[in-house]
Chain A
Amino acid sequence: MPVLIVPDKSKPLNIPVFQSRIPKPEELVVLDKPLLEATIEVGNLLKDCKAKWALGGDIGEILNGVNVQPDHITILTNVVGCEEISTKLKGFQVEASKLVETQIKRNAEIEPKPLPIMIKSYTSRFDLNGQRLNVHGDLRIKVGDWDWGDPLDYEPEYVYVVGVKVPVVPLELKTRLYRGLGWYDRVSKIHAAMARRHHKIV
């Protein structure tokens, strides 16, 4: 039986030691497992979807490396897509598609006085094993008493989630949107992700 030898050799060595800063949990871009699994399921179910659609909101950003923590899945599409997705996800639907106008929680921060932000879209809601999914068709935005904007349009970019290819709303569009709303904290988060990626800063 070997004897554990604990020699009295503990001493600082004259060897360069590189400082190590271990990242804090909140600095790491990690998607929670339930949402991850729901995203994979959505990606699989919609892989043959003919209408244009993409993951938007925080889920679309974290899949592109942005350090946000989504609590649900958002899909941006058009009216046709809203119907097609409703058909493909029929078993999970909790609210049929209808035109919904609502004020979002955060205000626009572009003037000294905060301006409310309204969104209007054909909205249907789903529940995938406890994970919320909101599908927005022809989403339009209105800030304060301004006119309604045109329906959001985009060319999807693609990311892979455990082997499932899913479309996401381009970060460039998100950046323009956030900048327009004065949400510079969100602009910074996207910039940070792009810098980590060594991509152009939009």
Chain B
Amino acid sequence: MSTVIQENPVDVVCLGVGFMSGVVATELALAGNSVVGITKGPYWDYVNDYSTTKYDEWGVGLGRKYDSPLPLQSTTIRNDSSQFALPVRRYTMPIQYHALGHGVGGAAQHYGGGMGRFGPWAYEMASRTASAYGLGFLASINPQDDTHDWPLDYAHYEPYYVEWEKAHGICGNYNGSPSNSQSDINYPWMSQNYPLPPHPLTPLAQLFQSTVQGMTAPNGQKYNPFPSVSALASQPYTNQYGVAVNPCVYEGYCAGLCDYACETGAKANAAYRTIPAAIKSGNFTLVTNAYIYRLELSASGNQVIAAHYYDAQGNDHRQPGTVFFNGMWGYNMIRLMLLSGLGTPYVYNSGTGTGSGTVGRGLTNGYTPYRGTNVSGTVNIGGNSYPAGNGSGGGVSVFDLMDDNFSHTGLNFIGGGLFGAGGYLGGGPGNITFAGGVSAPNTANPNGAMGSAFKATQQNKYLPTKQSVGATPFAPDLPTFMNYIDLDPHYTDAYGDPVSRLTYDWTPNTYNGATYLVNQIKAILTQMGANPTVSNTVAPYSAHNDWWGHHLRGGLRVGTDLNAGTATAWAALSGYNQLYYNSNTSGFNYFAAGEITNTTGNNATAGTHAAGPQSYRAAEGIKKYLANVGMPGGVNYLAS
């Protein structure tokens, strides 16, 4: 048995240090609590690390230095429970093209900065669908349906959205809510506008905006376009923690294959938004290159008492704490809980098509099927577009094809998708790759794309007068009993512990929704003069392996139904004696955020935006818990 290094006890232990832990660590540290944040990767300094490796395409694009190292820990995947799950050995299309993040900030190292609130409907998807279309509707369109409402409605989460947007410097100008008031139950109204103005609209975005403003949406009303919401600071910014943020310089390295980090810190990332304030407080200790492998429970099993991790040298550490917050990436969070015996593991019964337990239940995908129904065309924008680069700003979106913002009577799906157009073109090294410039001779281009052909593609790439525009729309990927996370019985991580096993396939709702939505978008593109075509119409279950694991959501859900939801409205763990903190029963001291109950057709990384409010809920819940440790009485964590 190796010697275990005992660390000093602290008030709060944050497991993983990404977006969610950044909020919790900062809120608790600024409140005077001692906080430790433990993350398996390094702290990336955007000046020294990102800038100097900007041109290291091998190291970043192929070596995946900003991504979670697969030799340390991978995951296995399969499409249904009858299959033998195989491990992800390399980051490649279409199996697992995009990886998890690595280091402080987590997956924020390599996202494009796309954000956007979930609409009110997403929080009450089950009840509002039943109310509008009948109790059996969800079951009829979603085999093995396991859809539940969130524990709180949008109005409850709205103030937390505001805090999260302030913290991360989100850019935009409202969300297309026609009245922008609480009476608008379909669109994400805002009590405060985004703290930063949107990025300048590109010519294509302006064309899209003017086009849809003259069109009628499926709900019979005019479309309500709004600037695409972005987490790339459009202006110099200081957040509520006093952290100064640099603005975007439109180099586009945030977008190049989504694997390039922002070298000015303009792209929201806990490392440059929240964690600096935590460090500055003097109450926060950041532990990097540390691999958490177990949570230690008390003898009675109703408390977490320590986190165990290996440091980079392989030393074994034990970090005790009063409260534990799990802010790891989705399936790593669930894996740690399963390894530690925390919560009730989800078990799927293929015979009955149902399941029991909560930890690992409700896995969904927040991204477009790679081989999905697609519509595309080319529009003349009447001049040169900008050559600037920026991962998520500059476009215009509409929420009118989202959620239940149009009648689904007679349709075989529920929900809809966000649609937008007109983002910036430039994008780091990916610019060259995606321009199709450097390729071998092929049928379409017999001479290859070098020489004059290469130059032509580059000219059209950087200063185009025509632009392609299109979409692979989809409706929400609804939770089912058959999609879930558990521990793999065969494969292990570098230390011998089971890796997580993902059992997942796209649900029919995504494909059926795409079939409908693609024609709505086709009408818009036609109006823009694109002469669009619909291609790759894909029927449910006809394409399986094209899922992008980094956008998976769920598996640890907040929920009103304790048999289905893993975490309560305060993000505290369900099960055990979790309902009330009580000095006699000791309550339960494990919180988690970052996972969601239902996904929507909003942008994939908008899942982060929707999870963000939970981190503030968790921080508030933890403060309540700490304030009541040793006090008589209790806190009802289920109360809103």
Mark A residues whose CB is within 8 Å of B: 1-2, 4-23, 25, 28-33, 36, 62-65, 158-163, 195-199
Q: How far is the CA of A10 from the CA of B496 in the complex (A)?
A: 10
Knowing A62-B244, A65-B244, A198-B249, say if A30 contacts B276 (CB, 8 Å): yes
Contacts of B247 in A (CB 8 A): 197
> Is A196 a contact partner of B264 (Cβ separation < 8 A)?
yes
Q: How far is the CA of A7 from the CA of B45 in the complex (A)?
A: 34
Among B284-301, those with CB < 8 Å from A are: 286, 288-289, 294, 296-297, 301
> Is A28 a contact partner of B279 (Cβ separation < 8 A)?
yes
Q: With an 8 A cutoff between CB atoms, is B9 at the interface? A: no
> Is B69 a contact partner of A15 (Cβ separation < 8 A)?
yes
Contacts of A12 in B (CB 8 A): 312-314
> Is A18 a contact partner of B495 (Cβ separation < 8 A)?
no
Mark B residues whose CB is within 8 Å of A: 1-2, 4, 41-43, 45-49, 51, 65, 69, 71-72, 103, 166, 169, 192-197, 235-247, 249, 251, 263-265, 276-277, 279-280, 282, 286, 288-289, 294, 296-297, 301, 308, 310, 312-316, 340-341, 494-496
Q: How far is the CA of A77 from the CA of B240 in the complex (A)?
A: 26
> Is B238 a contact partner of A4 (Cβ separation < 8 A)?
no
Contacts of B265 in A (CB 8 A): 196
Per a CB cutoff under 8 Å, which of B2, B46, B238, B251 touches A63? B238
Most buried by B among A15, A64, A158: A15
Q: How far is the CA of A25 from the CA of B243 in the complex (A)?
A: 12
Q: How far is the CA of A6 from the CA of B293 in the complex (A)?
A: 9
> Is B103 a contact partner of A20 (Cβ separation < 8 A)?
yes
How many residue pairs, one in A and one in B, have C-beta atoms under 8 Å apart? 151
With contacts A6-B1, A30-B242 known, what are 19 further pairs, Cβ within 8 A?
Answer: A1-B341, A2-B301, A4-B340, A6-B316, A9-B495, A17-B42, A19-B42, A20-B43, A28-B279, A29-B243, A30-B243, A30-B276, A62-B244, A159-B236, A162-B166, A162-B239, A196-B46, A197-B246, A197-B247
Knowing A2-B341, A22-B279, A163-B195, say if A158 contacts B235 (CB, 8 Å): yes
Contacts of B243 in A (CB 8 A): 28-30
> Is A8 a contact partner of B2 (Cβ separation < 8 A)?
yes
A-B contact pairs, 5 of them (CB 8 A): A1-B301, A12-B312, A14-B71, A25-B282, A28-B243
> Is B280 a contact partner of A161 (Cβ separation < 8 A)?
no
Q: Chain A nearest CB: distance from B345 CB in Å?
A: 10
> Is A197 a contact partner of B264 (Cβ separation < 8 A)?
yes
> Is B193 a contact partner of A163 (Cβ separation < 8 A)?
yes
Per a CB cutoff under 8 Å, which of A10, A21, A63 touches B314? A10
Per a CB cutoff under 8 Å, which of B4, B197, B276, B312 touches A23? B276
Q: How far is the CA of A2 from the CA of B47 in the complex (A)?
A: 44
